[in-house]
Amino acid sequence: MQFWNCVPGWINNPPIVHEVWDSTLQVLEGHRHVVRAAVFSPDGKLLASASDDKTIRLWDPTTGTCCSTLDGHLSPVTAIAFSPGGNLLASASKDKTIRLWDPATGTCHSTLEGHLKAVTAIAFQPDGNLLASASWDDTIRLWDPTTGICRSTLEGHLSTVTGIAFSPYCKLLASASWDKTIRLWDPMTGICRSTLEGHCNWVAEIAFSPDGKLLASASNDKTIRLWDPMKGICCSTLEGHLKTVTAIAFSPDGKLLASASDDKRIRLWDPMTGTCSGILRGHREGVSPIAFSPDGRLLASVSWDEPIRLWDPTTGTCLSTFEGHLKAVTAIAFSPDGKLLTSASDDKTIRLWGPTTGTCRSTLEGHRKRVTAIAFSPDGKLLASASYDNTIRLWDPTTGTCRSTLEGHLDIVATIAFSPDGKLLASASYDKTIRLWDPVGGICRSTLNSHPSALNAIAFSPDSKRLESRSTGGATRFWCIGAGEEDQAVYTTESIACELATDSPSTLNVDDSWICYGMERLFWLHPDYRDACFTVRNNIVAFGQKSGRVSFMGFDLAKVPSGDLFDKPIHCE
């Protein structure tokens, strides 16, 4: 909250900050595919990320800018590691090789070849004299990072080796495998000292504590185990995750252990007591991997769903969100007077919100399947909703009661629209038809047939006399409403001036990653908000997200400065 007094004066309805924050500090974008790994340099001045786009990117974690992109691998990059001195960056790939890079110049020093299958993990010895690599070929290889020569190959695991880690004082090398075991090796002789058994499923990753007295292992059995590596015994089992634990990392001082999981959560543990001290929420998909910055003030995490996130393990900031829907939000719309915002969801419900307060006023239930579309009548006295259950429902938005259910379509109702005069409600369906309804009496006046495939968009002309419809195949039809007999509509080839959109015209608009005011970029959007449906009403922008959240932002457009907003300093009071 320390920067709350720095909010520009033209944001008159800023996002409400929850008591429990999403602790994300930054989101780093640039990779064109899934990010598989992220790791800080020893001095904390760089963050390296590896991706399925076959590249490694080097970032400034303070500014979030990409410093350089390293190209060379022929397949997805699976793992990365800095040497203890930070002068080398090693990368592993599904192309069966390890590459050694100079992070200062971005040049590749050497390519290490020898593994017979994809390389899954790499780790430098703390003194920098060895580089270990693990592979789908069930082996670990030890390399001289200076010469690029393979010193030895460690064999013993019965399946893919998923993780490797050196102890802080170089005396042990631990390896984790799909064979459900952890093996402890003497890196000098290549002899296996002990095999740790206890997990009920494959082991995903391992990590030594900074003092080397503990070894943590993460598993598909949803648990983390803490081992005494000298005695080879399990000290404790940490339970709490609901799915596979994919990654673990000790903080530099050893006081925290972070674990990431396919349950979309990162948990923070006290390794001495085994208690969970916090849960970081924000990712929409499974999380892996994670890494602490050298000073322990940042935690980087990667997920299948989005770019890299940087967290403060104890506190952080959050763009305002309002939660209520249990599944993805599919549509949102403002009432004509702007006093209500309604959202439809895959959870089969419609919710009515106060845009200024962000509170949910009522939840409308009745549809048997997901709700696809919503629309207010021009006078705001009716709210229509369409659904996968082949029906349209008409609601009183004041009381939340369902006035009528319109039945007739033989397939999903994809979209709906009121005529500007409020006398008709049009519905378009996957059954290739459009139906025109009397919204007061709930009677179907006519059914329009002409489209060759399912319909997905309709819009009335401003005078309510014509209707435009569009199907999934791209075919567009124009209809004259009330031509001939009163209850009829006829197909015409004449184009009409109506757009297939329901939002009111506004100088505010959403363009990719920005809220714009005319042609000027006004507010940068967090990636969570870019796949959302949105609507604009006067000075308020509302978002409906796949997570089920609805978010609002309000602007005082009269105070927005002209020209490039980002050339002007923001003064804190």
Q: From 203, 198, 207, 196, select the one nearest 166 (Cα to Cα).
A: 207
Main-chain dihedrals φ then ψ at residue 342, nearest 5 degrees: -115, 145
Please check whether residue 213 is in contact with residue 175, taking contact to mean a CB–CB distance below 8 angstroms.
no
* Angstrom distances, CA of residue 244 to CA of 220, 270, 399: 4, 20, 45
Residues 6+ apart with CB under 8 A from 546: 284, 328, 329, 531, 532
pLDDT of residue 332: 74
Q: From 331, 394, 330, 408, select the one nearest 364 (Cα to Cα).
A: 394
Give per-residue pLDDT as tens, 129-165.
899 999 999 999 999 999 999 999 999 999 999 888 8
pLDDT of residue 529: 67
Predicted structure pTM score: 0.51
pLDDT of residue 298: 73
At 74, is the pLDDT very low, low, confident or very high (cuts 50, 70, 90)?
A: very high
* Cα 531 from Cα 516, distance rounded (Å): 17
* Cα 93 from Cα 562, distance rounded (Å): 49
Mean predicted confidence (pLDDT) in 93-107: 93
- Between these two residues, 510 and 145, which has the higher pLDDT value? 145
pLDDT of residue 21: 46
At 572, is the pLDDT very low, low, confident or very high (cuts 50, 70, 90)?
A: very low
* Biggest CA pair distance of the chain: 94
- Between these two residues, 64 and 258, which has the higher pLDDT value? 258
Mean predicted confidence (pLDDT) in 237-255: 90
pLDDT of residue 461: 82
Summary count for the chain: helices (H), strands (E) = 0, 51
pLDDT of residue 13: 59
* Cα 266 from Cα 241, distance rounded (Å): 9
Residue 1 pLDDT more than 50?
no
pLDDT of residue 278: 83
pLDDT of residue 317: 32
Residues 6+ apart with CB under 8 A from 45: 60, 61
Give per-residue pLDDT as tens, 542-553.
776 665 566 667
In angstroms, how far is CA 283 from the centroid of its own chain? 5
- Between these two residues, 516 and 56, which has the higher pLDDT value? 56
* Cα 89 from Cα 97, distance rounded (Å): 14
Q: For tokens 């179907």, name the residue.
A: 444
Percent of the chain exceeding pLDDT 70 equals: 79
In angstroms, how far is CA 24 from the centroid of its own chain? 12
The answer to which of 52-66, 210-224, 230-244, 311-325 has the lowest mean pLDDT is 311-325
Residue type at 497 in one-letter notation: A
Residue 279 pLDDT more than 60?
yes
At 383, is the pLDDT very low, low, confident or very high (cuts 50, 70, 90)?
A: very high
Look over the chain and give the mean of its residue pLDDT values, rounded to a whole number.
Answer: 81
- Between these two residues, 148 and 309, which has the higher pLDDT value? 148
Residues 6+ apart with CB under 8 A from 175: 134, 140, 154, 157, 161, 163, 164, 182, 183, 185, 206
Residue 567 pLDDT more than 90?
no
Secondary element (H or E) of residue 360: strand 360-365
Mean predicted confidence (pLDDT) in 493-501: 41
Residues 6+ apart with CB under 8 A from 241: 222, 223, 224, 259, 261, 263, 265, 267
* Cα 485 from Cα 503, distance rounded (Å): 31
As beta bridge partners, residue 531 has none
Residue 237 pLDDT more than 90?
yes
* Cα 280 from Cα 311, distance rounded (Å): 8
Token pair of 176, please? 């984790």
The answer to which of 7-16, 97-106, 361-370, 407-416 has the lowest mean pLDDT is 7-16
- Between these two residues, 451 and 401, which has the higher pLDDT value? 401
pLDDT of residue 483: 46
Mean predicted confidence (pLDDT) in 499-519: 60
* Cα 309 from Cα 533, distance rounded (Å): 23
DSSP 137-156: TS-EEEE-TTT--EEEEE--
pLDDT of residue 190: 87
Give per-residue pLDDT as tens, 327-368.
777 777 778 877 787 888 888 999 888 765 667 888 999 999
Give per-residue pLDDT as tens, 178-224.
999 999 998 888 889 889 988 999 888 888 888 888 889 999 999 99
DSSP 261-294: ETTS-EEEE-TTT--EEEEE---SS-EEEEEE-T
pLDDT of residue 358: 61
pLDDT of residue 500: 40
The answer to which of 247-261, 403-417, 454-468, 553-567 has the lowest mean pLDDT is 553-567
Among 17-26, 302-311, 347-356, the range of highest mean pLDDT: 347-356
